[in-house]
Amino acid sequence: MAIHATTILCVKRGETTAMAGDGQVSAGQTILKGNAVKVRKLYNGKILAGFAGATADAFTLLEKLEEKLQSYGGNLTRAAVELAKDWRTDKMLRRLEAMLIAADKEKIFLLTGNGDVIEPEEGVIAIGSGGNYALSAARALVAHTDLPAAEICRHAMKIAADICVYTNTSLTMETL
């Protein structure tokens, strides 16, 4: 049974970075859980991380990211690149099926098992089943409103939940 679920959105606006994740976990057409926490603060609250994909795989990657952050003194860029290299080349890690968004007050990165470390140009990125809906809504809100990052996340995630059956309105929101 294919497991679907998750919309994670990260928005940087001004000096604030916000990340939101929905709480729905689904298997096929069944909702297994409605209040999962898929967004966390790492490295003494200085880094935001959100995941989509297999939960156990994502937890493994979050642990590895935390280790890299510790090794590189909280330097998110270096930690992200080193994690992506390990993820792509390590025999065990390369089998993990998940995606991560990691952010600090200056940068946002999308990390994948293909070795991708992508920094969005416009300070908005999303992943997961409803990711494209949340991304589109957030980009429109950034372009046409003066809303702060957290409010953009809140509104865009609501729009995604209205469209994507694998996304709900039970949000976890973290800001830096």
Contact 93, 86 (CB under 8 A): yes
Q: Is 6 a catalytic residue?
A: yes
Q: Within a 10 A sphere around the Cβ of 165, how many other Cβ atoms?
A: 14
d(CA 70, CA 88): 20
End-to-end Cα spacing for the chain:
37
Greatest CA separation for the chain = 46
R_g over Cα of the chain: 15
Q: Which of 6, 7, 17, 167 is catalytic?
A: 6
Q: 47: which strand partners?
A: 42
Active-site amino acid positions = 6
